[in-house]
């Protein structure tokens, strides 16, 4: 059997047989790679944990690549310590694995995903990191919603603003009756989506903040959009929603923050 080394991040795992496990490793050059770990996470393979970035030395097998050696590059300890971060990372991994075709190479999506893990691990705003990363992954997959002009009449959007996941973007007040799933959203939600999607990356010291109600509306818009274009609800969605803006983050002062995009 030939052997090769790849860099990647463990995005998913499941038991296989009596004692083995299979990892889904997301790589920049080979897309999704299924890796068989014989004997499971024991001995030298104990560090082959979820959301671990590593170099994997693999044998080419018939069904799966077979793990021979692993060299850890980053294990993102804060994600492993905080359940909410594990939930968010799992949601992003499921979204990414559904957006990519088998063996589809996508270095940009890989870099976005790794950057999300790095930001989670450094203590960045977890909800903004989640929203930002979703937008980037959707955009890289060519599925961005239309946000500047009405998807039906192509007119510049003014308040009030309506959104339809089925139509793929925003609707003006004259066209809102054209889709059965229309929801009314604040103008700031669209501004936030456009701004977040324009950023090359998040910065831990940036001066961008969103009040609670806008984060909730952003979450609602992305949930609807992703379900329509993936053709299903992600399995990790209910648990992610449980932790998104959970009780510990519902600071009364947050609802009074002004919407602010740095100039």
**What single-letter DSSP state applies at residue 55?**
E
Q: Is 49 helix (H, G, I), strand (E, B) or coil?
A: coil
Signed CA dihedral, 244, 245, 246, 249: sign only: positive
Mean pLDDT of the chain: 86
Distance CA 125, CA 138 (A): 20
> How does pLDDT run across 247-256, given as a tens digit for each residue?
444 433 333 3
> How does pLDDT run across 187-201, given as a tens digit for each residue?
899 998 988 888 887
Domains of the chain: 3-75 (2.40.50.140), 78-256 (1.20.1440.120)
60 phi and psi angles, rounded to 5 deg: -80, 110
Rounded to the nearest angstrom, the gap between the alpha carbon of residue 86 and the centroid of all alpha carbons in its chain is 12
Residue 206 has pLDDT above 70, yes or no: no
> How does pLDDT run across 124-163, given as a tens digit for each residue?
889 989 999 999 999 999 888 999 899 999 999 888 899 9
């Amino acid at each position: 059997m030939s052997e090769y080394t790849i860099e990647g991040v463990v995005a998913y795992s499941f038991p296989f047989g009596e004692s083995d496990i299979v990892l889904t490793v997301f790589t920049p050059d080979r897309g999704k790679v299924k890796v068989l770990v014989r004997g499971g996470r024991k001995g030298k393979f104990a560090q082959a944990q979820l959301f671990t970035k590593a170099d994997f030395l693999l044998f080419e097998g018939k069904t799966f690549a077979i793990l021979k050696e692993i060299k850890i590059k980053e294990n993102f300890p804060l994600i492993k310590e905080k359940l909410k971060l594990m939930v968010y990372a799992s949601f992003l991994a499921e979204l990414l694995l559904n957006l990519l075709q088998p063996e589809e190479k996508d270095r940009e999506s890989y870099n976005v995903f790794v950057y999300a893990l790095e930001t989670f691990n450094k203590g960045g705003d977890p909800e903004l990191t989640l929203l930002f990363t979703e937008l980037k992954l959707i955009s890289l997959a060519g599925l961005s919603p239309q946000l500047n002009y009405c998807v039906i009449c192509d007119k510049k959007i003014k308040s009030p603003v309506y959104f339809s996941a089925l139509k793929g973007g925003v609707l003006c007040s004259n066209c809102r009756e054209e889709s059965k799933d229309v929801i009314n959203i604040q103008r700031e939600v669209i501004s936030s989506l456009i701004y977040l999607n324009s950023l090359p990356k998040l910065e831990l010291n940036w001066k961008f903040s969103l009040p609670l109600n806008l984060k909730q509306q952003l979450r609602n818009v992305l949930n609807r959009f992703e379900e329509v274009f993936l053709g299903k609800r992600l399995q990790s969605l209910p648990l992610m929603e449980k932790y998104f803006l959970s009780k510990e983050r519902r600071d009364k002062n947050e609802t009074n923050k002004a919407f602010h995009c740095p100039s």
